[in-house]
């Protein structure tokens, strides 16, 4: 596992993860950037998926992205922390990793799910991200190259402190 600072749409990995909304039809933040970079064929495939519940994950092709696939997952909106947010966020990471494994993928990059428009505090979210992925790799024995792709330098520092 490693953390980097980058625009996730530029990464040539087996899959990038999208912090989508439940419609899967595009939105703001990283979702908008991924849809713009992948092109119109992505939304056509997404229309066939019937949406996605919070904590679940669905996979599509990567279309014009350098990444081969996109795993769309819907993070929880932060409502103070006592509304199941951490379990739902952990489900996003675990269900995305399950798809990585089921599809035989060996590299995946995650954005910091829920920490933009959805308001999840970065320190708490990064803790959930790192512990959930670490546990999945240990329990499954899967050899997957996992990158936490941070958009800002302060976010990168939070992840790096947890990965040291």
C-alpha dihedral (49, 71, 133, 83), degrees to nearest 10:
-50
How far, in Å, CA of 155 to CA of 164, rounded? 15
At 143 the three-state DSSP class reads coil
| Residue 63-82 contact track with ligand ADP, rule CB under 6 A, x = bound | ------------x-------
* Strand duo 69-74 + 107-110: pairing: unpaired
Which stretch in 43-51, 55-63, 128-136, 148-156 sits in contact with ligand ADP by CB under 6 A? 148-156
How far, in Å, CA of 32 to CA of 144, rounded? 26
Asked if 76 contacts 84 with a C-beta cutoff of 8 angstroms, the reply is yes
* Smallest separation (angstroms) from ligand ADP to the CB of 139: 25
Among 26, 29, 51, 121, binds ligand ADP (CB under 6 A): 29
Per rule CB under 6 A, is residue 8 in the interface with ligand ADP? yes
Among 1, 49, 117, 142, binds ligand ADP (CB under 6 A): 117
Per rule CB under 6 A, is residue 49 in the interface with ligand ADP? no
Per rule CB under 6 A, is residue 25 in the interface with ligand ADP? no
User: End-to-end alpha-carbon separation of the chain, Å?
Assistant: 10
Q: Which residues bind ligand ADP (CB under 6 A)?
A: 7-9, 19, 29-31, 33, 75, 111-118, 149, 151, 155
């Amino acid at each position: 596992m490693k953390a980097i600072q980058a625009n996730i749409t530029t990464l040539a990995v087996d899959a990038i993860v999208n912090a989508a909304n439940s419609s899967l039809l595009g939105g703001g933040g990283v979702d908008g950037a991924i849809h713009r970079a992948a092109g119109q064929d992505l939304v056509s495939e997404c229309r066939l998926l019937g949406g996605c519940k919070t904590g679940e994950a669905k996979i599509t092709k990567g279309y014009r992205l350098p990444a081969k696939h996109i795993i769309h997952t819907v993070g929880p909106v932060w409502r103070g922390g006592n509304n199941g947010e951490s379990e739902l966020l952990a489900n996003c990471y675990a269900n995305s990793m399950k798809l990585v494994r089921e599809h035989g993928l060996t590299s995946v990059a995650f954005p910091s799910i829920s920490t933009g428009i959805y308001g999840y505090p970065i320190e708490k979210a990064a803790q959930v991200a790192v512990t959930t992925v670490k546990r999945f790799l240990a329990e499954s024995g899967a050899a997957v190259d996992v990158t936490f792709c941070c958009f800002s330098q302060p976010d990168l520092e939070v992840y790096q402190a947890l990965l040291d």
